[in-house]
Structure 1
Amino acid sequence: MQTIALFDVAPAAPAPTKRRTPLALGELPVSSVPAAYDREHPYSPPARTAAVIDHRPGDLFPPLPASPSAPKAWGAWWREQASKPTPDFLGLETGDVITVVGETTATVVSTCRFGAVVRYELPRSPWATETHGEMYVTARNQFGHWYR
């Protein structure tokens, strides 16, 4: 007797992951945001810092202006300037697999002028309800690990 399946469920092939190899020390990434080095750590310098240091200009964006201190003005600055989506952040693109400090593997979820949002797996725990965490990364150390 032959049965008819309502759904043809085949295991989905895992999506290919892009793993970035860290750039050599002293090599600035080609990026849509400005790039600079500080003690062997690449980062995107803000406007006040970029004015006084050597840096590689961004392909699409100038250095991020300083944030205002007033709460409403800061919110507008965040929405209109800092969190503006970019194609990459210091060479990181959505879908890249990187390591964050502590050698935790993380996947880049999105990029903006301020940094890149990454998602990483949390350790399993009987009392934890979340399986993943998210954080911004804004710089990379000399060992290739990203951090904020």
Structure 2
Amino acid sequence: MQTIALFDLSTAPTPTTTQRRRAPLALGELPLSSVPAAYDREHLYSPKAGTAEYVDHRPGDRFAPLPASPYGPKAWGTWWRTEANVPTPDFLGLEPGDEITVVGDTAATVVSTCRLGAVVRYELPPSPWATETHGEMYVTRRNHFGHWYR
């Protein structure tokens, strides 16, 4: 049976760029990053304003600690657009294209980074009732096993 296609898609493989593989940062080591980095109780994270004063941390190359989010939808939306979701070249050493492991031992690829965290994309297991093949989530911390989580 012949199907009608809405678009003419080439079946030739698309050229891929050579993705650079970077060695993961050693556990316990503070990365050079555009955001502040702290290592506390075997977890790597970016301290927020109000807590950064109380923990030993490495200052960010471009940003100070993220201010606390305000209450209320309008104030929170403004905070999200002007403070938290500001694009950065990296987040705690993660850069777009990096391959990481998220909690649950799932492989993920860093899609983008911002001041709040990194957006990662991971493959979902096949399911007869779901149409999505991939999911996305923010990661903001790394545990002592080297797995990233929110």
Count of matched residue pairs: 142
Structure 1 pair 15–124 and aligned structure 2 pair: CA distance change class (3 A): farther
SS state at 1:47 partner: coil
2:135 to 123, 133, 136: 133
Length-normalised TM-score, structure 2: 0.88
Runs of 5+ unmatched residues, structure 2: 1-8
Q: Which amino acid aligns with 2:60?
A: G
Q: For each residue in 1:77-129, what CA deviation from the matched residue of structure 2 results, as whole angstroms up to 9, or x when unmatched? A: 01100000000000000011111011111110100000000000100111111
**Take 1:64 and 1:13, find their aligned partners in 2: how far apart are those partners?**
39
**Take 2:132 and 2:10, find their aligned partners in 1: how far apart are those partners?**
31
**Aligned positions of 1:77-116 closer than 5 A:** 77-116=79-118
**Aligned positions of 1:32-111 closer than 5 A:** 32-111=34-113
**Take 2:85 and 2:69, find their aligned partners in 1: how far apart are those partners?**
12
- Cα shift at 1:16: 3.6
RMSD: 1.7
Contact 2:33 2:60 in 1 (8 A): yes
Contact 2:27 2:146 in 1 (8 A): no
What is the identity percentage for the equivalent residue pairs of Structure 1 and Structure 2?
75
After TM superposition, where is structure 1 displaced by more than 2 Å over at least 4 residues in a row? 7-26
1:31 to 33, 47, 62: 33
Aligned to 2:6: none
Q: For each residue in 1:53-79, what CA deviation from the matched residue of structure 2 results, as whole angstroms up to 9, or x when unmatched? A: 110000000000111112210110011
**Take 2:55 and 2:10, find their aligned partners in 1: how far apart are those partners?**
59
